[in-house]
Amino acid sequence: MNTELMKERWRRNWYKFSRNPLSILGLAVVLAIILIAIFADFFAPYPEHAFVFVDFKNAKRPPCWQYLCGTDMAGRDILSRIFFGFRYSLVMAVSVLSVATPPGVLLGLVAGYMRDTWVDIAIMRVADVFLSVPSMVLALAVCSMLEPTLYNAMLAVTVMWWPWYTRLVYGAASSIKNEYFVQAAEVTGASTFHILFGEIFPNCLSTIFTKMTLDVGWVILIGSTLSFVGLGAQPPTPDLGTMVSDGSKYIPAQWWISLFPALFIVVIILGFNLLGDGVRDMLAGD
Amino acid sequence: MSKEIVVVKDLKKWFDTDEGIVRAVDDISFTINEGETFGLVGESGSGKSTTAYTLMGIYTPTAGEISYKGMDISMGIKQRPLSLKKEMQMVFQDPGSSLNPKRSIEQIIELPLQVHGIAKDERRKRVIELLQMVELPEDYLDRQPTKIGGGEKQMVAIARALATNPTFVTLDEPTSALDVSMQAKIINKLIEFQETLDLSYLFITHNLSLMRNVATRVGIMYLGKLCEVAPTGTFFSKPLHPYTKMLLSSIPVITREEEAVKPDKVVSMGEIPSPVNVPSGCYFHPRCNECTERCKREDPPMVEVEPGHFVKCHTLSE
């Protein structure tokens, strides 16, 4: 691929992406969150407050210039803990999606290409079983069977997440399979492996990417929910869900302890959704 | 008498759908000789494309036999030997969908060579040679198919079909999606390749004037059955089946000379019935103006009225 064409393609993609100002806002929010998560030690006003730290003199302080989001019951700066919380949220999202997507996509490709054979029926009925159980219930079941840790929460979310990709790719693959270019590859004798990964898969990529971007927010939400009910990250881990749960006992008097972590969960999800919409616009009709 | 390359005998392809059994191809027999262009014409839904797809193995035949150079190939594509796929190639109807939009022109033309085990550096040479054959510039190698015109796409599809030096190529309405100026260019190229590369074609179209110019022999299909097969000259000058007469008389003409060679005006009636609910007896009888009681009861056999001219109609067997 020569550089001229490459540049041209980037320019066009950026044009399509930036037509909607909300996409740019989403991109900015996501970039900011990623930067803050990576350099949390540097951005947080009190990095030492992230884990175990006690300062009862300054406990339950409302938002002020010294503590922008106030302090919690142990006197830890809430904003600092939120910044560290981004780290856990992003790690959760990235690891869940990078583990759930490949098998989900692979199964969807195979089932879609072998549509109406026993392979298709076997794969899709199993996926249907997973999809028919409400995702939260499934995650709660897995989490309550295992020890409540962040890793088990990730495992639980992964188990419920792959069928969505299977179904998404199944739909795409079973329609692409009827395109003449797939038939041309069959006529010429190309292997099933080539047809799946060389012909069908590249045409599913844009759909997969869009869904992944949109899913980051949802995975974070589910992860936070698990932490909120005590089945995810355990204190003193600065997880946003755990923080909301810890602070809920002090509502309404010390509202800031729960409110600010909750608000930032909303910001993360909103950011990734806006970005996802932009990615969809960019990849549509390409 | 030239050698037969493809022989199709009593071929059936039925599809089981929710509405019932669709008899897309119902008991047809024909042969394609080496070096000739066998044309299949018919209205939409007459089963000509299904015939081509079954011949190529994309559909597995329901019944009947297909043989290629004496070898039985009445099975689906996955069961056919790889060496056969080198010899039988296909050009599809819609060049927009027959080229993968995510692959470059080079990757597209290279695929058959790769599949049939040609070394990497030789593949590139061959791809460039093929691009020259179809008169496309060399810098198209890196392009995506979405960035070139419809006619150019079809040229790429033809280059891909010719990559492995096939002997038999199925052309499924190769020009119907293109504008007229491109059509002529593509057809001329196809005729040129047939002569220089010694190809046999199965040519499918619904365009009768085009058929007259390219085909050696023509078969006409109606509701999954062949009605008449004849050498092109005979087919257009002395059609015998009422359906052939009806279609030929419906070609619009401009000059008086053309009008003179056309068969007498036959008013066409009705439309092609559903292949799920086929008429009794001769499938064509509800639209036929020479229809008799017998046509409604019995399906006529295919008879050879003169050497090489087959017709399936009761009016001739009496």
Chain A residues with CB under 8 Å of B97 CB are 179-181
Out of A21-30, B193-202, B256-265, pick the least confident. B256-265
The whole-number pLDDT of residue A285 equals: 63
Q: What angle do CA A54, A88, A103 make, to 5 degrees?
A: 155
**Looking at residue B168, which CATH number applies to its domain?**
3.40.50.300
d(CA B215, CA B205): 11
Question: DSSP characters for A175-224?
Answer: HHTTSHHHHHHHHHT--HHHIIIIIIHHHHHHHHHHHHHHHHHHHHHHHH
For an interface test with A, give the residue of B89, B97, B154 to mutate (most A CBs within 10 A).
B97
Say yes or no for a CB contact (<8 Å) between B100 and A5.
Answer: no
For B4-45, the pLDDT digits (tens) are 999 999 999 999 888 888 889 988 999 999 999 999 998 888
Which of A183, A188, A202 has its CB closest to that of B115?
Answer: A188
Picking from B32, B33, B30, the residue whose alpha carbon sits closest to that of residue B10 is: B30
Band (pLDDT 50/70/90 cuts) for residue A286 is low
> Which residues of chain B approach chain A closer than 8 Å at the C-beta?
56-58, 77, 82, 85-86, 88-90, 92-94, 97-104, 111-112, 115-116, 142, 157, 160, 164
Which of A1, A180, A205 has its CB closest to that of B92?
Answer: A180
Start-to-end Cα distance in chain A: 17
Mean pLDDT, residues A192-221? 91
Domain count, chain B: 1
**Contact residues for B85 (Cβ-Cβ < 8 A; gap 6+):** A187, A188, A189, B77, B115, B116
Mean pLDDT, residues B230-246? 91
Q: Give the sign of the dihedral formed by CA B98, CA B101, CA B105, CA B110.
A: negative
Task: Enumerate domains of chain A plus CATH numbers.
Answer: 36-46+65-283 (1.10.3720.10)
Say yes or no for a CB contact (<8 Å) between A190 and B111.
Answer: yes
Instruction: Answer whether residue A77 shows pLDDT above 60.
Output: yes
Instruction: Answer whether residue B318 shows pLDDT above 70.
Output: no
**Looking at the complex, does the CB of residue A18 fall below 8 Å from at least one CB of chain B?**
no
d(CA B270, CA B289): 11
d(CA B62, CA A11): 52
Specify whether the CB–CB gap between B223 and B27 falls below 8 A: no
Element (H, E) at B180: helix B180-197
Neighbours of A32 (CB within 10 A): 14
Band (pLDDT 50/70/90 cuts) for residue A2 is low
Instruction: Answer whether residue B271 shows pLDDT above 80.
Output: no
Q: What is the DSSP letter of A277?
A: H
Out of A164-178, A230-244, B169-183, pick the least confident. A230-244
d(CA B203, CA B218): 9
The whole-number pLDDT of residue B269 equals: 73
Start-to-end Cα distance in chain B: 29
The whole-number pLDDT of residue B65 equals: 93
Q: Is the ipTM of this complex over 0.85?
A: yes
**Looking at the complex, does the CB of residue A117 fall below 8 Å from at least one CB of chain B?**
no
Say yes or no for a CB contact (<8 Å) between B82 and A203.
Answer: no
Specify whether the CB–CB gap between B220 and B227 falls below 8 A: yes
For B73-114, the pLDDT digits (tens) are 999 888 999 999 999 999 998 888 999 998 999 999 999 999
Which of A5, A187, A194 has its CB closest to that of B85?
Answer: A187
Smallest CA–CA distance, residue A12 to chain B, in Å, is: 14
Say yes or no for a CB contact (<8 Å) between B97 and A187.
Answer: no
Q: Which of A146-160, B206-220, B255-269 has the highest mean predicted lDDT (pLDDT)?
A: B206-220
Specify whether the CB–CB gap between B49 and B172 falls below 8 A: yes
Give the strand pairing for B20-33 and B168-172.
unpaired
Say yes or no for a CB contact (<8 Å) between A184 and B160.
Answer: yes
Smallest CA–CA distance, residue A9 to chain B, in Å, is: 12
Question: Side by side, which strands form the sheet with B309-311?
Answer: B88-91, B168-172, B200-204, B37-41, B217-222, B225-231, B309-311, B303-306
The whole-number pLDDT of residue A29 equals: 94
Say yes or no for a CB contact (<8 Å) between B142 and A189.
Answer: no
Specify whether the CB–CB gap between A237 and A2 falls below 8 A: no
The whole-number pLDDT of residue A1 equals: 53
Q: Cα-flanking dihedrals φ and ψ of residue B37, to 5°?
A: -110, 115
The whole-number pLDDT of residue A45 equals: 85
Range of the domain at B136: 4-317
Q: Is B75 helix (H, G, I), strand (E, B) or coil?
A: coil
For B107-143, the pLDDT digits (tens) are 999 999 999 988 988 999 999 999 999 999 998 998 8
d(CA A261, CA A129): 34
Side-chain-side CA neighbours of B28 within 13 Å: the count stands at 29
The whole-number pLDDT of residue B317 equals: 65
Which of A1, A187, A188 has its CB closest to that of B142?
Answer: A1
**Average pLDDT in chain B:** 89
For B141-180, the pLDDT digits (tens) are 988 898 888 889 999 999 999 999 999 999 999 988 888 8
Chain B residues with CB under 8 Å of A5 CB are 142
Picking from B88, B91, B87, B86, the residue whose alpha carbon sits closest to that of residue B156 is: B91
**Per residue in A102-111, is it b (16+ CB within 10 Å) or e — as a string?**
eebbbbbbbb
Instruction: Answer whether residue A167 shows pLDDT above 90.
Output: yes
Mean pLDDT, residues B230-241? 91
Out of A57-61, A207-211, B44-48, B147-151, pick the least confident. A57-61
Specify whether the CB–CB gap between A78 and A243 falls below 8 A: yes
Chain B residues with CB under 8 Å of A188 CB are 85, 89, 111-112, 115, 160, 164
Going from the C-alpha of A130 to that of each of A133, A138, A165, A194, the distances in angstroms are 6, 8, 12, 29
Chain A residues with CB under 8 Å of B86 CB are 189
Give the strand pairing for B71-72 and B63-68.
antiparallel
Which of A1, A181, A188 has its CB closest to that of B97?
Answer: A181
Chain A residues with CB under 8 Å of B168 CB are none
Specify whether the CB–CB gap between B187 and B175 falls below 8 A: yes
